[in-house]
Structures are given as C-alpha cells and as structure tokens.
Amino acid sequence: MAENGRAHQTVIKKYANRRLYHTGTSTYVTLEDLATMVQNGEDFIVYDARSGDDITRSVLTQIIFEQENKAGDDNLLPVAFLRQLIRFYGDSMRTMVPSFLEFSMANFAKDQDGLREKMAQSFGPSAFQQALQEQVRANMTFFGDAMKMFTGGFGPGGPPPGTIPAAPPASAPTPAVSGPADLDELKKQMAEMQARLESLARK
C-alpha cells in the first residue's frame, strides 16, 4: 500500500478494536509510542486495517488530544488559538490556513535549536522556557492578525463575546474578490503577507 514516496514510511495498521499494529516490528503499539516516533523524526502512515483507508490525520489528531490532556498547565495550544482555528472551518479562507501553519511551524522548527542553545547558555533553562512561550504567543498573535488581513474579522462566527476586534492594518485592506483586478490585488496582498512572515521568521 505504501507507494510513491511513501515506501520509506513505517506502516501502522489500526484494527476495529482500536489496537495499532506496527508492521515493521510486528508488535502492537500505543498512541504514546507513536508520539515518541514523531518526536524522534520517524515517519509513519496509518491505515484502517479493514478498509485500507489512510487515517494518519485522525490518528495524529488523537495524539495531540492525548498530549494536551496530560499536559496540565503546560498545554501547547492556547485556548484563543483553538477558538480561532475552529472559526476557520467553513470559512472561505480556510484553504489558506494549512499552508500558513506549515510555513510558520517550519520556520519555528528551523530556528528553535539555535534559540534553545543561545538562551540556555545566556540565561539558563527557565529563561529559555519563558522566552519560548513568549515567542509562541507572539506567533499566535501574528497568525490571527495576518489572517484578519484577509477575513476582515474573525470568520463566520464573528468576534469572541466581550471583545473588540482589532482593525486590519491600514496597509492591508480587506479584499473583495469579484474580478481579475481584485484577484491581482489579492495576490499582491498575499505576497506582502509572505514578506512579513519571512521577516518575522528571521527575527
């Protein structure tokens, strides 16, 4: 079943009893085992043993759910970010979100080792942890602001109750795509947003 560039991936089969079978080691594994594989950089793909469907996305989502549940006060995903993410489901701009998140996370992952080493040497582990949390919060804020450049607000659900939505940047008015000229303007604004993202990644 693994083909086209997936031949190198470890195949995990999920059975009806929810057990996960590692075909490489011929052993049953848990979600925690799969989380460790991800953290170690081991690529895998999960198939439904009965239907043969690729269910990797749903299993990875389960791993995140499990990790968040056991994290206690050290949750990785802020509530505001989760709310914003949910608002994009069904929104016309939802197709942009995956690419935006991949871009942001790829740049953050690229820079994290250097940041970790620099902060640990200068201020110690606790200061690094604080700086990392501040960077994550800044990235999430920037994500929301950047997406509001195109949505003009908080998506179909409107702003959170009791909050006043921030006005879009003056240099990036909300586009209304109705013809070729508007499409060109949208492309231009997308290029400007990418430039801002790249500038943020270099900081």
pLDDT digits (tens, 9 = 90+) for 61-91: 999 998 888 877 778 888 888 898 888 888 8
Q: How far apart are CA 39 and CA 2, in angstroms?
A: 22
pLDDT digits (tens, 9 = 90+) for 96-123: 888 888 887 887 777 776 766 766 666 6
Angle, helix 180-202 to helix 125-151, in steps of 10 degrees: 170
**Which of 146, 154, 149, 152 shows the shortest CA–CA distance to 88?**
154
Q: How far apart are CA 90 and CA 1, in angstroms?
A: 32
Domain ranges of the chain: 10-73, 79-202
> What mean pLDDT, rounded, does the chain reach?
73
Q: How far apart are CA 148 and CA 156, in angstroms?
A: 12
What per-residue confidence (pLDDT) applies to 195? 65
pTM of the complete model beyond 0.75? no
Q: How far apart are CA 116 and CA 8, in angstroms?
A: 31
Tokens of 169: 């940047």
**Which of 146, 117, 145 shows the shortest CA–CA distance to 131?**
117
What per-residue confidence (pLDDT) applies to 61? 93
Q: How far apart are CA 166 and CA 133, in angstroms?
A: 23
The more confidently predicted of residues 189 and 38 is 38
Q: How far apart are CA 46 and CA 8, in angstroms?
A: 13
pLDDT digits (tens, 9 = 90+) for 44-66: 999 999 999 999 999 999 999 98
Amino acid at 28: Y
Q: How far apart are CA 30 and CA 22, in angstroms?
A: 10
pLDDT digits (tens, 9 = 90+) for 132-183: 666 666 666 666 666 565 555 544 444 444 444 444 444 444 444 445 565 5
